[in-house]
Amino acid sequence: MTDTTTAHHAFDADTAVERIGEGRYATVVSAGWDALGGGPNGGYTLALCQRALADALPHPDPLVVSGWFLRPPAHGPAEIAVEVARSGRRLATGGARLLQDGEEVARAVATFTDLAAAEGPTDVRNEPPVLPAPEECRNLLPDGPLPGVTITERVEYRMPELPGWMRGAPSGEPRTEFWMRFADGREPDVLALAPLTDAGWPVVLDLGVRASITVELTAHVRARPAPGWLACRVTTRHVSGGFHEEDFEIWDSAGRLVAQSRQLGLLVA
């Protein structure tokens, strides 16, 4: 497999994996992707597992990627154990376990394919987010990254108005649309999409809740994204007993849905 990414960019450098044996990879959990609330972002953790799976599976593009977030990962060395469940002509599926100090911290299962070879029909009953151009939008963080929330040094967000919860006035509507991109100019690719579906803020913050933790996230990757800003739409419709789903769509600069994810989250009171 040809690695089309480049170590010049933070996302690639911070998700590098080194094969150290049959189905074993060494990696380092970076301190550069910490989320609101502290600790590495779930999407970043998933990106580490996905990188090892991309090396182990024969097809170039993730199609379905699921992650379970079992324990808060620590910054520092980790090992990823990978096994291949099935490697077929069109689809290949494998599992990855992120291990620290002998404990499983996160688990991923992914099916890879070659999206360039997808030949079936296309019929989309949805529209991309309607947003002013990124340069006409507000930077979500005009004063720079949030202290301690290091992912805000890596990812930029633009939207017409700041979300209510950021202004101290939660809107009561658990949905939002915004632009997103890597801050260092790295263009999006298929490996970036599933992780980026977890790089926003929980839209339940606009219900006035304090935080949410991700139990599980599954992303579907539909197409290789065009360069440029990514338009995102995030929605929660069902909060029950403190559990909620969060649906995340990513549309590329050419107006195509390139990924969608759903996660199961647990509200933090």
Closest approach of a second copy to the CB of residue 95, in Å: 7
Residue type at 121?
P
Closest approach of a second copy to the CB of residue 140, in Å: 24
Helix (H, G, I), strand (E, B) or coil at 140: coil
Q: Quote the CA–CA distance of 269 and 60 in Å, as a whole number.
A: 41
CA distances from 131 to 135, 171, 177, 199, 240 (A): 11, 18, 8, 19, 31
Closest approach of a second copy to the CB of residue 200, in Å: 18
Residue 245 β-bridge partners: 264
Closest approach of a second copy to the CB of residue 115, in Å: 7
Q: Which secondary-structure segment (H or E) carries 98?
A: strand 92-100
Residues in the site for a second copy, rule: CB under 8 A? 63-64, 66, 68, 70-71, 85-86, 91, 93, 95, 97, 104, 107, 109, 111, 115, 118-126, 174, 207, 209, 215-216, 218, 220, 222-223, 236-243, 245, 256-257, 260, 262, 264, 266-267, 269
| Cβ contacts of 146 within 8 Å, gap of 6 or more | 36, 152
